[in-house]
Amino acid sequence: MSNDRSARVMMEEEYMTLVVEYKNKQDRATVCDSIGQIEEKYDVHPEVIHQRAKDGGGSFSVEFSKEIYTNSRIPGDFIEDVLKSLNIEHCEEL
């Protein structure tokens, strides 16, 4: 299924960040709801930042810091679930 969403993951020594970009403002709620549901599923509270673009799109950044990232597999499972729920088949790694 093709959509106007993309994702990239950035990893550093004690951080993992998922950035989901969308092009249609109608997707904002879909992406936000997906992140919220998966937060509840794993009972985690990563830092989530929403940024709007002038063209109507935007992005959500989800950052896991050292405590949860270095001690568990939850961030990776969380990211996989977000990608699946949003039908994003490819994730760029930076």
Per-residue confidence (pLDDT) for residue 77, from 0 to 100: 95
Q: How many domains are there within the chain?
A: 1
Cα angle vertex 13, ends 86, 37, to 5°? Answer: 25
Per-residue confidence (pLDDT) for residue 14, from 0 to 100: 83
Which three-class secondary structure state does DSSP give residue 83? Answer: helix
Q: What is the DSSP letter of 13?
A: T
- pTM: predicted TM-score of the whole model, two decimal places: 0.89
Q: CB–CB of 58/25 below 8 Å?
A: yes
Residue 19 belongs to a domain with what CATH number? Answer: 3.30.1360.20
Residue 75 included in any domain: yes
Q: CB–CB of 21/5 below 8 Å?
A: yes
**Residue range of the domain that includes 34:** 5-89
Q: CB–CB of 60/50 below 8 Å?
A: yes
Per-residue confidence (pLDDT) for residue 93, from 0 to 100: 78
Residue ranges of the chain with pLDDT lower than 50? Answer: 1
Residue 31 included in any domain: yes
Per-residue confidence (pLDDT) for residue 3, from 0 to 100: 78
Q: Write down the residue that tokens 């001690």 correspond to.
A: 71
User: How many Cα neighbours within 13 Å face the side chain of 50?
Assistant: 14
Residue 94 included in any domain: no
| Tokens coding 26 | 């109608």
Per-residue confidence (pLDDT) for residue 88, from 0 to 100: 94
Per-residue confidence (pLDDT) for residue 81, from 0 to 100: 97
